[in-house]
Amino acid sequence: MTVSDGEKRKAIRERLNVVFQEVFDDDAIEIFDEMTAEDIDEWDSLMHITLVVAVEKEFDVRLNAAEIGKLENVGAMISLLQNR
């Protein structure tokens, strides 16, 4: 991974963190790569889609059904956004 990749990832993480805080209405949330639905109580199927819609708006991307289905953790979400 080059330095610019690392910087890009960091910037995405910061923007994504704000999205998480807004969607789950919790300013204390600090995301990390291994974070999954297990780590946030309200993160169920419904909130997952709400999160996806918020992410799509923030990053101006469209995620398809297969991409949404295979997002296993926050790290995977960041990688997906980095590659778009």
Partner 1 sequence: MLVSPGKRHMNLISFRFLALVAVGLLLFHSFRSLTWRRLVLLVLNVTFIASFANSPLDLFPLAAFLMLGYLFILVAHSQKSRMNFVAGIFLLLLAFVYLKRYSLFDFLQFWENPYVVVGLSFIFFRVVQIFVDTHQGALVERISALEMFNYCCNFLTFVSGPIQRFQDYREQEKQLASINITDRTAYLAFSRITNGVMKLALISTAFEWLFEWMKIHSGEASYLWATYAGAGLSYFLQLFYNFSGYMDIVVGIGFLFGFKLPENFDSPLDSENFLDFWSRWHITLSEWFKLYLFNPIVKALTRRWMRMGLVPYFGVFAYFVTFFLMGMWHGTTFMFMIYGLFLGLGMAINKFYEIEMRALLGKARFKKLRGKFLYRIFSKSLTLTYFAIALTALWMKWDTFTYVLGRLGWIGILESLGLFILVIGFIHVGYMAVRIFLARFRDHLGELDQSRSFQQIHLAARVVIVILFLISSQISMPKLIYGGF
Answer for the pair 77, 70: CB distance below 8 angstroms, yes or no. no
Euclidean distance between the first and the last CA atom of the chain, given in angstroms as a whole number: 17
Give the separation between CA 84 and CA 79, rounded to whole angstroms.
9
Size of the site for partner 1 (CB under 8 A): 21
Q: How far is the CB of 8 from partner 1 (least distance, A)?
A: 23
Nearest CB to partner 1, comparing residues 17 and 50: 50
Q: How far is the CB of 25 from partner 1 (least distance, A)?
A: 7
Assess 23 for contact with partner 1 (CB under 8 A): yes
Answer for the pair 30, 70: CB distance below 8 angstroms, yes or no. no
Assess 28 for contact with partner 1 (CB under 8 A): no
Assess 65 for contact with partner 1 (CB under 8 A): yes
